Chain A
Amino acid sequence: MKTTEKHYTLTRRSLLKGMGSVSLLGLFGSRMRYANAGSKVNMGFIYVGPRDDFGYNQAHFEGKSGVASQAWVNAFDQESVPETVEVQKAMESMINLDGAQVLFPTSFGYFDPHILKIAKKYPEIMFLHCGGLWDEKKHPKNVGSYFGYIDEPVYVAGVVAGLMSKTNKLGFIAAIPIPQVLKNINCFTMGARSVNPDITTNVIFTGGWANPVKEAEAANSMVDQGVDVLTCHVDSPKVIVETAEKRGVYSCGYHTNQLPLAPKGFLTGAEWNWTNVYTDYAKMIKNDELIPNLVRGGLKEGIVKSSPYGSAVTPAAKKAADAAREKFKTGNFTAFVGPIKDNTGKVVIPEGKSYPQRDLWLESMDWLVEGVIGSTKS
């Protein structure tokens, strides 16, 4: 099929080819191919919050800026788009007015119903969503998802926190008790307890992804209770990291690098490395390759990474953390080796049983590991 500038067509042959696709990581569904006639690759990015939030949205913006540095890429974006009909209109606008070939609506809540609805209307455009929800049986072929096992660098940050804490009390400020968040809390705690079994982690759920006032209150109250390392899973760790710095305690970052916010107390953090992911997608489109519907990876694949160490981190802590990171990079390491009890004393993983770090069962997690002080009922 001939294609012209800014036009790319899904050929029947490529679809058939896609149906019989190879499986990678055992997770890949069917693929889709776009022919591109040598013109620029047009990529649209949509964020739910501001580009410079020192958090989730900034991480994606940095990824967009990274891929935009390629001369053959034309990347454009839109910030602060709520999960309403607005995101549907933003997607359509990027397709109709900017000629987007591939869209990256990055907020979790954009997927159902918004992406699914617009994807049906524009079958020739690829919609790639951050969050890992694509289901071969239910979802259109021009939709895909990508996500990273960020719990791996969170575990590494836990190792640093466990060795740096003097009070043995860590603090974790979290948005809502969903599996992704619980897995991070558990991995942070297990990482810390792997090097210091006396560690406990206090958890406070704020009830929302962007609640700066509550986040600051939670941070202050934790410091008052003797917590000396703070970390979080909210959209923007800015307020929490700054509060920790002001109160003179350590902090571990999340989403993106927060070292500039806390030059004294910042230890390390877990970051996304979206530049890698977005550049890979752009290359696939440019080279006319099949686009996988499901892309996942962790430290090994370079989808996530650790933030640089802050000045306070001791050589011993660095060494232990580097060792933990190397173990994840082999792809064989898991923190979920039985016996593991939850924080009510119930055995969740019996002796002799273990789950790979990326096991699907862990993605419906509803328990907090021993050593965590808090409840999922919040």
Chain B
Amino acid sequence: MNNVLRIDRLEPLIIPMTALLFALILFAIFITLVGADPFGVFHSIYRGAFGSWFSWQNTLVRAAPLMLTALCTALPARMGLIVIGGEGAFVLGGLCSALTGLMLVGSPAWFAISMMMLAGAITGGLWIAAAGALKYRRGVNETISSLLMNYIAIAVMNFLIIGVLRDPATLNKPSTYPIDEAHMFVDIGNSSIHWGLVVSIVICLLLWFLSRRTVFGYAVDIAGGNERAARIARLPVGFLVLATCFLGGASAGIAGMIEVAAIHGRANTSLNAGYGYEGILIAFLARHNPLLIIPAAILMGGIRAASGLLQRSHDLPDATSLVMQGIIFIVILGSESLYGRFKIFRQQHSSERAVA
């Protein structure tokens, strides 16, 4: 019996796939309405995102930071918290890791990179944990507080970069001093993908293991499902809130560190590029499962990677790829309500039980 394909197991696969297909049909209608050829557009999206090794590199390098900022929303969501503060954790994580790098100029690369990563993780972690603490201790809505904290984080970064941390040589684009070039992430082989992608995938896998295969993850799921039951079972709910927020924030902070160490080499306003906000969308697409975040981030990275080609070969504005992301997001969110509604999945399920 075990070898037979069980249709009830396929429910979490079939529903999002059907939703994705439906979203693509809606997008095709939209494209037709604005006067472009939908098949040509889909072909360009495929070509720009996954059509060649060049496009794959393009996609993967964009997906790397998104995986980590998605975790910032996904982990607290398992506790039932909607945190959208990834942008702030990303920016401050990047800033603090750059400062750490500046203090370690000349030290061995492995040490400096580990310390920078630690600095990014701790900063991002504490930032989001603060939103978690406000929620747990004071009942402040974590969605609002984490959103507003983004603005604080960006303002703090701007203030420091224009002020005390500014390298006076950066006249017209205020930035910190550059970190040691020997401490920068290099590209994998002769591709243009930096090692940050590997770090991001490993962190997704580790946090998937933590949330699906450990007592901690089980406790989080219980507390997220029913907080009162969790309290009665004497689960440390406060600790779980802080821990999931910290881990989520730490992931976004590491994403900021990678952005500094792999791309910019210093901290400046380019860090505030919206990776944190795009991560929210991916977390929801992946239904807050750290493992599914990997393909979801690659899909979204690919759509963004194809945006340039859409603009240049179809004369469509940049917003086209945002419209596509938006449609996918809303349709997949809407499809959440369909779970358990289809008889085909349930009948199979109950007969399965009867056999067992």
Indicate whether A50 sits within 8 Å of B317 (C-beta atoms), given known contacts A85-B61, A98-B312, A179-B171.
Answer: yes
B residues 176-202 touching A (CB-CB < 8 Å): 192
Q: Which residue of B lies closest to A86 (CB)?
A: B62
Interface residues on chain A, number (Cβ under 8 Å): 36
Q: List 12 A-B contacts (CB under 8 A).
A: A79-B317, A82-B273, A82-B274, A84-B273, A86-B62, A89-B62, A93-B54, A108-B172, A113-B263, A113-B264, A178-B172, A180-B172
Since A92-B58, A131-B172 are in contact, a sample of 18 more A-B pairs with Cβ atoms closer than 8 Å, ordered by chain A residue number, is: A77-B312, A78-B318, A80-B318, A83-B270, A83-B273, A84-B259, A84-B270, A92-B54, A92-B192, A93-B48, A93-B309, A97-B54, A108-B173, A109-B269, A176-B162, A178-B173, A207-B155, A363-B171
Contact between chains at A79 and B312 (CB < 8 Å) = no
- Asked if B317 and A208 make an inter-chain contact with CB atoms under 8 angstroms apart, the answer reads no
Distance in Å: Cβ of A105 to nearest Cβ of chain B: 12
Instruction: Say yes or no for B311: interface residue by CB 8 A criterion.
Output: yes
Tell me, yes or no, whether A144 is within 8 Å of chain B by CB: no
Contact A109 B62 (CB under 8 A): no
> Which A residues are in CB contact (< 8 Å) with B317?
50-51, 79
Option from A86, A92, A97, A176 in Cβ contact (under 8 Å) with B174: A176
| Chain B min CB distance to A48 (Å) | 10
Tell me the residues in window 111-149 of chain A with beta carbons closer than 8 Å to chain B beta carbons.
112-113, 131
Within 8 A of A (CB), among B251-300: 259, 262-265, 268-270, 273-274
Given A89-B62, A108-B173, A176-B174, do A82 and B309 touch, yes or no (CB 8 Å)?
Answer: no
What is the number of contacts between chain A and chain B, taking CB atoms within 8 Å?
Answer: 83
Which A residues lie at the B interface, using CB under 8 A?
50-51, 76-86, 88-90, 92-94, 96-98, 108-109, 112-113, 131, 176-180, 207-208, 363-364
Q: Which one of A50, A93, A179 has the greatest number of beta carbons of chain B within 10 Å?
A: A93
Closest 7 CB pairs of A and B: A80-B318, A83-B270, A82-B273, A76-B312, A178-B172, A78-B308, A89-B58
Measured in the bound complex, the distance between the Cα atoms of B178 and A298 in whole Å is 33
Residues of B within 8 A of A98 (CB): 312
Say whether B305 faces chain A, with CB atoms less than 8 Å apart. yes
- Name A207's closest neighbour in chain B (CB-CB): B158
Q: How far is the CB of A15 from chain B (nearest CB, A)?
A: 26
Chain A residues with CB under 8 Å of B192's CB are 88, 92
Query: Which parts of B21-44 form the interface with A (CB within 8 Å)?
Result: none
Bound form: Cα–Cα A94–B48 in Å: 11
CA of A96 to CA of B259, assembled, Å:
25
Known: A84-B259, A364-B171. A89 touches B318 (CB 8 A): no
Question: Known: A78-B311, A79-B318, A113-B265. Contact between A89 and B172, CB under 8 A?
Answer: no
Q: Which residues of B contact A176 (CB under 8 A)?
A: 162, 174
Q: Which of B268, B274, B308 contacts A90 (CB 8 A)?
A: B308
